[in-house]
A and B are shown apart, each in its own frame.
Chain A
Amino acid sequence: AQSVSQHNHHVILSEAASLELGCNYSYGGTVNLFWYVQYPGQHLQLLLKYFSGDPLVKGIKGFEAEFIKSKFSFNLRKPSVQWSDTAEYFCAVRQAAGNKLTFGGGTRVLVKP
């Protein structure tokens, strides 16, 4: 069974700092990759997704992620965070053309003003 690891459980940053969240998965076949964000008290929203093509994916709110197939990684980045980026971030993987998502354990990000 595939698994997804998010190595940082908690991250604390100051505004304007850069953010990088790690995500590694275990499945060896072709995958679809997602980053979701959950703001306090809200439901999950899609930040970005990768299916194929350019491994550098740009999403909403200035986020981007890079798929490195050789490292089974899909790290999320933002050059300059804002207080409003305080949230929990989830990486998710799906076997290509499949339907079930496997989520990582999440990373809680706190941005201090």
Chain B
Amino acid sequence: DAGITQSPRYKITETGRQVTLMCHQTWSHSYMFWYRQDLGHGLRLIYYSAAADITDKGEVPDGYVVSRSKTENFPLTLESATRSQTSVYFCASGGGGYNEQFFGPGTRLTVL
């Protein structure tokens, strides 16, 4: 089915472990985004990508790494997870310019 998917939907990990959250879209949107959602902060942009092999930092990039080797995939890696990274992570895609962003179902990550 067309759309944007995220995996896993739920993840529990321990401090110091590496975690990768996956995001896949089937619309061939050029732009993809990663946000984290925390109570009282709304959604904050972590990283975004304008096209394959082009990525840039958002508002809260520290502790995260992204890559985009293919247009349809935009994985987010926490290299050494910390408790402060416990959050709900949303991936989004859009065409840029006058187009809206479409959001995935989210990944709830708990770091113990």
Q: Is the CB of B101 within 8 A of A103?
A: no
With beta carbons under 8 angstroms apart, the residue of B43, B59, B100 that contacts A90 is B43
A residues at B contact (CB < 8 Å): 4, 6, 9, 32, 34, 36, 42-46, 49, 51, 90, 92, 97, 99-106
Q: Is the CB of A51 within 8 A of B42?
A: no
Chain B residues with CB under 8 Å of A34's CB are 100
Q: Is the CB of B100 within 8 A of A49?
A: yes
Query: A-facing mask of B13-46, CB < 8 A → 1, else 0?
Result: 0000000000000000001010100001111110
Chain B residues with CB under 8 Å of A97's CB are 97-98
Q: Is the CB of A46 within 8 A of B58?
A: no
Q: Is the CB of A100 within 8 A of B48?
A: yes
Chain A residues with CB under 8 Å of B78's CB are none
Q: Is the CB of B44 within 8 A of A103?
A: yes
Q: Is the CB of B101 within 8 A of A101?
A: yes
Q: Is the CB of B104 within 8 A of A101?
A: no
Chain B residues with CB under 8 Å of A9's CB are 40
Main SS of the interface on chain B? Answer: strand
A selection of 13 A-B contacts at a CB cut-off of 8 Å is A9-B40, A43-B103, A43-B105, A44-B90, A44-B92, A97-B98, A99-B50, A101-B33, A101-B43, A102-B59, A104-B42, A105-B42, A106-B42
B residues at A contact (CB < 8 Å): 31, 33, 35, 40-45, 48, 50, 58-59, 90, 92, 94, 96-98, 100-106
A106–B92 Cα gap in the complex (Å)?
18
Q: Is the CB of B103 within 8 A of A51?
A: no
* Residue among B43, B50, B92 with most chain A CB within 10 A: B43
Q: Is the CB of B42 within 8 A of A103?
A: yes
Shortest Cβ distance from residue A26 to the other chain B in the assembled complex, whole angstroms: 14
A104–B42 Cα gap in the complex (Å)?
6
Q: Is the CB of A43 within 8 A of B40?
A: no
Chain A residues with CB under 8 Å of B92's CB are 44
Shortest Cβ distance from residue B12 to the other chain A in the assembled complex, whole angstroms: 18
Chain A residues with CB under 8 Å of B96's CB are 99
